[in-house]
Amino acid sequence: MEKGIAVTGMGIISSIGKNLEENYISLISGKNGLSFSEILETKHTHLPVGEIKISNLELLDSLKLNSSKPITRASLLGIVAVKEAILNADLHETQLGTCGFISGTSVGGIDATEKYYKNFQDGDYTEFIKAQHPGFTSKQIANYFEIKGQVSTISTACSSAANSIMLGARLIRSGKLKRVIVGGTDCLTKFTLNGFNSLMILSEKPNKAFDEDRNGLNLGEGAAYLVLEADDVLGAKQVLGRVSGYGNANDAFHQTASSPEGEGAYMAMNKALRTAKLNPRDIDFIHAHGTATRNNDLSESVAMNRVFKDSLPDFSSTKGFTGHTLAAAGGLQAVLNLLMLKNQQIYPTLNFQNKMEESGLIPITDLKHKRLSHILSNSFGFGGNCTSLIFSSNEK
Amino acid sequence: MNKQYYISNFTSIKKGAVYNAKNKIFESELELNEIDLFLKEAYNFLALSYPKFFKMDRLSKLGILASEVLLKNESLESDTAIILSNSTSSLNTDKTHQESINQIVSPSIFVYTLPNIVLGEISIKYQLQSENAFFISDTFDAELIADYTNDLLAFEKAKNAVCGWIDLKNAEYDVFLCLISEEGDVPFTQKNLEQLYYFENE
Amino acid sequence: MSDLRTELKESIIEQLNLEELSVEDIENDEHLFGDGVGLDSIDALELIVLLEKDYGIKLTDPQQGKDIFVSINRMAEFIEAHRTK
C-alpha cells in the first residue's frame, strides 16, 4: 500500500463539542448536538439543526479579537479549529511562515452579508461587502495565524473540505510544500436553511441515515482541520494517521441529485483505493456521507455494494451527531476518522431503526470496538462532485 | 515519466464577444450590460440546441457556452478533468436567492448558489466523469491552475483537462477556458497560460 | 371563465424557463416529465411553489407531485378541486 501523508495535528468545533476532547466524549456517549435554532435568527425554528451554542461575541471574546473588526462566523469557527490543530501538531511560528492553508467553505461570509446586505446601500457595514467572497473567510483565518505559505479556497459544496485534504496531500507528495493545514468551515445561515427547505430535503426530526423511513437531513455548522507534514520534517513528532488514498469524480447526472447507480461515488471510491494501492477487502470501515436524504443514502448504498460486492465492511454515518455541516463535513469526518483509528472504535449511526428495503444494508448502531487500519471516508457535493479519502494507521 | 502536455485550444468570452483561440467568432451589438440577451444570442449563434440551458443561471450559461466552443469538435473521453476558478463564487445567483428569502424561495435558483454547479452542468452535457475542482482567488491564479492540472495529468488521474477562469461581477463576465491534452503547439506551462489569459484581456 | 389549462401552460413556460416551447407545443394530456416537455425533479419542486403562489395549495410531501404533475389535465383537475385563490 501507499504510505500516505502524515497527519500530525487536528482541531474541531461542532455542535457536539468545541474541541477534540468534548467531541470525543459526545461520540462515545451517543450524545447528539441537534437542537432548534437559537443563535441563528430564523423563522424556521421547528427544524432541528446542529447549532454550536456559542455566539459570535463569545467566540470573539475567547479568541481575544476586537468585535469592531469585520470577521464572520465561519472564520471564527475556523480559527478555533485551526488553533487546536496547530497546538496539537506543535507547530511553531516560524513553521507557520511557510505553511500552506487550504480551506473549503460554501457559505463562509454569508452569515454577515445576509444580515447587513440591506445596510450596504446606505453605506453601513460596508466592510462586510468583501465577506461575500468565500476567499475572504480563508484569508481571515490565515491572517490570524500569520500563515504565509500558499492559501487557497475550495468551493465544491459538501466535498470542499475533503477536496482540500486531497489537495494538501498532493502538495506535500509533489514536494511543493512541507506542511499544510487543510479542512473546512461552514456556519448556519438563513440562506442555506431556506434554500434546502425549498428543495424539500430537510427533516423535521433528527435525521435517520440509511433508514427505510428517512426523510431528509438536518443542517449543521462546524469547522475541522488537519495538519499534514512531509516525512522529512517529522522528526520525533506524533503521527496521528496518514492520508493514504484519495479520489474525486463527477457523477454527471444532475445538479443536486445523485445518479441511481451512484456512478460518481463508485468512481471516487475506486480511485481512492487505487491511489492507496489497497483492495476493497483491506478497508475496515466506511465513514459514509449518509445525509439521510432519500436520494443520497440509496445512491451511496448502491455504490458501496458495487465497489465492495460481498466484502462490504462496517459502515456508519455520523451526521446524526453533528448534522450535515456542508463544506466542513469532509473535515469533520476526517477528524472523527483519526479519533477512530487512535481509539480503535467505530462511532454509530444514530436513530436507525429499519434497514432500507432496496439494499438491506445495516449500519453500525452502537459504539463498536474494532481493529482498524484503513478507513474510507465519503463526501459527496451538489454539482455531482464526489470525493473519497482513505485514512490509515501510521505503520511503524 | 513526464509526458509533455499542451494547450490544445482555448476560448474566451468577454465584453460582448466570443473567441475561439485568438479568433473572434462572435460579437454582439448589444449594450455591454445586456448580459441575459447576450447569453441568448451566443447560444443561438453556436446553434446549441440544449433546452436545459435556459434553466441555468448566468455563470453556468457562460460555462456551457465556453465549453461548446472548446469541446464541440473534440471527441472527448469521459476521463477529462475540469478545473475552474473565479473570484466571485456564485455571488450573482446568491443575491437573487437572498432577495427571495422572505417571500417564496425558488428551488431552481437555490440550486445554482454554488460555483461548482458549473462543473456539474459541463460534466452532464459532455458526460465527463473525471476529477473536478473549483478554486476561489482574487485574480486568475495561473500558477495554482497549472500546478494542479499538471499534477493531475502527471499522475494519470485524467487523460485530458479543461481548466481556466469563469468570473461574473454583476453583468461583467470574464471567461477563459483551455483544453489541455497531449497534442498541440503551445506547451502547458504557467507562463503560457498567463500569456494567453492576458493577451485576451487587452 | 379563463382557461385554466392555457394559464397553466403559460405559467409553466415562464416559471420553468422553457424558452423554446410555446403554449401550442404542450398537449393537455402529454406527460410533462417525458421526452417532450422534459421536466426534471427541480422543476417538480418549482411546480410545488407555483401551486402555493398562484393557487394557494400547499403540498408538504414532494412525493404527491408525482401524481399531480403528470399532465396539464391532471394539474388542472387537482387545482380546481383544491384551490383557495
One domain for residues A221 and A293: no
Instruction: Say whether residue B55 is in contact with chain C using an 8 A CB cutoff.
Output: yes
Q: For cell 459532455, what's the residue?
A: B126
Lowest mean pLDDT among A35-49, A88-102, A203-217, C60-74: C60-74
Whether B108 and C20 lie within 8 Å, measured CB to CB: no
One domain for residues A222 and A273: no
- Which cell numbers hold the place of A336? 472523527
Question: Residues with Cβ < 8 Å from B193, sequence gap 6 or more?
Answer: B7, B142, B145, B146, B178
E strand or H helix that includes residue A104: strand A100-104
CA distance C55 to chain B (A): 14
Whether B105 and A252 lie within 8 Å, measured CB to CB: no
CA distance A199 to chain C (A): 7
One domain for residues A248 and A228: no
Average pLDDT over residues A208-225: 98
Give, to the nearest 10 degrees, the angle between helix A73-88 and helix A110-120.
150
Handedness of CA C19, C24, C29, C35 (dihedral sign): negative
Average pLDDT over residues B62-88: 93
CA–CA distances in Å: residue B194 to residues B140, B142, B172: 8, 6, 20
User: Are the C-beta atoms of A182 and A6 separated by less than 8 Å?
Assistant: no
Q: pLDDT-derived band of residue C85, with 50, 70 and 90 as boundaries?
A: confident
Query: How far from chain centre, in Å, is Cα C68?
Result: 8
Question: Is the per-residue pLDDT at A248 higher than 70?
Answer: yes
Question: Residues with Cβ < 8 Å from B95, sequence gap 6 or more?
Answer: none
3-class DSSP state of B164: strand
- Tell me, what's the pLDDT at A385? 93
Question: Residues with Cβ < 8 Å from B30, sequence gap 6 or more?
Answer: B16, B37, B38, B41
User: Are the C-beta atoms of A60 and A71 separated by less than 8 Å?
Assistant: yes
Averaged pLDDT score across all residues of chain A: 95
Of the two residues A20 and A70, the one the predictor is more confident about is: A20
One domain for residues A77 and A220: yes
One domain for residues A46 and A164: yes
Q: How many CB atoms lie within 10 A of CB A294?
A: 16
Question: Is the per-residue pLDDT at A339 higher than 90?
Answer: yes
Residues in C closer than 8 angstroms to A257, CB to CB, are: 41
Query: How far from chain centre, in Å, is Cα A206?
Result: 19
pLDDT tens for B13-37 read 999 999 999 899 999 999 888 999 9
Averaged pLDDT score across all residues of chain C: 90
Record the pTM: 0.93
Instruction: Say whether residue B47 is in contact with chain C using an 8 A CB cutoff.
Output: no
One domain for residues A351 and A385: yes
- Tell me, what's the pLDDT at B200? 53
One domain for residues A179 and A306: no
For C11, list phi and psi in degrees, rounded to 5: -60, -45
Question: Is the per-residue pLDDT at C63 higher than 90?
Answer: no
Q: Which of A102, A107, A156 to mutate to test the interface with B (most CBs of B within 10 A)?
A: A156
User: Are the C-beta atoms of B164 and B26 separated by less than 8 Å?
Assistant: no
User: Are the C-beta atoms of B129 and B123 separated by less than 8 Å?
Assistant: yes
Distance, CA of B30 to CA of B47 (rounded, Å): 19
CA–CA distances in Å: residue B168 to residues A121, A160, B113, C17, C84: 20, 21, 13, 21, 41
Average pLDDT over residues C69-83: 94
Q: Which of A200, A202, A253 to mutate to test the interface with C (most CBs of C within 10 A)?
A: A200
Length of chain C equals 85
Residues in A closer than 8 angstroms to C62, CB to CB, are: 200
- Tell me, what's the pLDDT at B201? 47
Lowest mean pLDDT among A122-136, A290-304, C36-50: A122-136
One domain for residues A72 and A200: yes
Whether C41 and A257 lie within 8 Å, measured CB to CB: yes
Last residue of one domain, picked from the residues A233, A257, A281: A233
Lowest mean pLDDT among A161-170, A255-264, A282-291, A303-312: A255-264
Of the two residues A354 and A116, the one the predictor is more confident about is: A354
Range ranked top by mean pLDDT from A336-345, C10-19, C36-45: A336-345
3-class DSSP state of B140: coil
pLDDT tens for B144-170 read 999 999 999 988 778 899 999 999 998
Q: Which residues pair with A377 in a beta bridge?
A: A287, A389
Annotate B135-145 with b (16+ C-beta within 10 A) or e (fewer). Answer: bbbeebbbebb
Distance, CA of B20 to CA of B26 (rounded, Å): 9
Distance, CA of A15 to CA of A50 (rounded, Å): 5
- Tell me, what's the pLDDT at C79? 95
Interface subset of C 16-75, CB within 8 angstroms of A: 40-42, 45, 48-49, 62
pLDDT tens for A187-204 read 999 999 999 999 999 999
User: Can you give the residue ranges of every domain in chain B?
Assistant: 6-200
Provide, rounded to the nearest whole percent, the portion of chain B with pLDDT above 90.
81
- Which of the 8 DSSP states describes residue A217? B
pLDDT tens for A257-289 read 899 999 999 999 999 999 999 999 999 999 999
Distance, CA of B96 to CA of A129 (rounded, Å): 16
Alpha helices in chain A (DSSP H): 20-28, 56-62, 73-88, 93-98, 110-120, 134-144, 160-173, 190-198, 263-276, 294-308, 319-322, 329-343
One domain for residues A59 and A159: yes
CA–CA distances in Å: residue A36 to residues A195, A221, A329, C66: 17, 13, 20, 31
**What is the greatest pairwise CA distance in chain A?**
63
Average pLDDT over residues A200-225: 97
Question: Is the per-residue pLDDT at B103 higher than 90?
Answer: no
Domain B6-200 falls in which CATH fold? Peroxisomal Thiolase; Chain A, domain 1 (3.40.47)
One domain for residues A181 and A294: no
User: Are the C-beta atoms of A289 and A379 separated by less than 8 Å?
Assistant: yes
Whether B113 and A195 lie within 8 Å, measured CB to CB: yes
Query: How far from chain centre, in Å, is Cα A21?
Result: 17
> Domain residues for A210?
5-233
Averaged pLDDT score across all residues of chain B: 92
Within a domain: A280? yes
Length of chain A equals 396
Count the alpha carbons within 13 Å of C45 in the hemisphere toward its beta carbon: 19
3-class DSSP state of A212: coil
Last residue of one domain, picked from the residues A233, A259, A275: A233
- Which of the 8 DSSP states describes residue A69? S
Lowest mean pLDDT among A96-105, A120-129, B3-12, B176-185: A120-129
- Which of the 8 DSSP states describes residue A257? S
Read off the CATH number of the domain in which A273 is found: 3.40.47.10
Domain count, chain A: 2
Annotate B79-99 with b (16+ C-beta within 10 A) or e (fewer). Answer: bbbbbbbbbbbbbbbbebbbe
Within a domain: A123? yes
- Which cell numbers hold the place of A79? 480559527
User: Are the C-beta atoms of A310 and A328 separated by less than 8 Å?
Assistant: no
Last residue of one domain, picked from the residues A205, A233, A261: A233
Nearest-by-Cβ selection for C49 from B40, B54, B104: B104
- Tell me, what's the pLDDT at B94? 94
Within a domain: A239? no
Average pLDDT over residues C10-33: 92
Q: pLDDT-derived band of residue A396, with 50, 70 and 90 as boundaries?
A: low
One domain for residues A146 and A21: yes
One domain for residues A78 and A124: yes
Whether A152 and B89 lie within 8 Å, measured CB to CB: no
User: Are the C-beta atoms of B167 and B120 separated by less than 8 Å?
Assistant: no
- Which of the 8 DSSP states describes residue A285? E
- Tell me, what's the pLDDT at A66? 86
User: Are the C-beta atoms of A325 and A14 separated by less than 8 Å?
Assistant: yes
Q: Which amino acid is at B22?
A: K
Whether B147 and A155 lie within 8 Å, measured CB to CB: no
- Which cell numbers hold the place of B22? 485568438
> Which region, left, alpha or beta, applies to residue A246 given φ > 0 means left and ψ of -120 to 50 means alpha?
beta
Q: Which amino acid is at A177?
A: L
pLDDT tens for A72-100 read 999 999 999 999 999 999 999 999 999 99
For A218, list phi and psi in degrees, rounded to 5: -115, 130
Q: pLDDT-derived band of residue A68, with 50, 70 and 90 as boundaries?
A: confident
3-class DSSP state of A277: coil
- Tell me, what's the pLDDT at A115? 87
Distance, CA of C72 to CA of A112 (rounded, Å): 43
Q: pLDDT-derived band of residue A25, with 50, 70 and 90 as boundaries?
A: very high
Q: Which amino acid is at B156?
A: E
- Tell me, what's the pLDDT at C1? 39
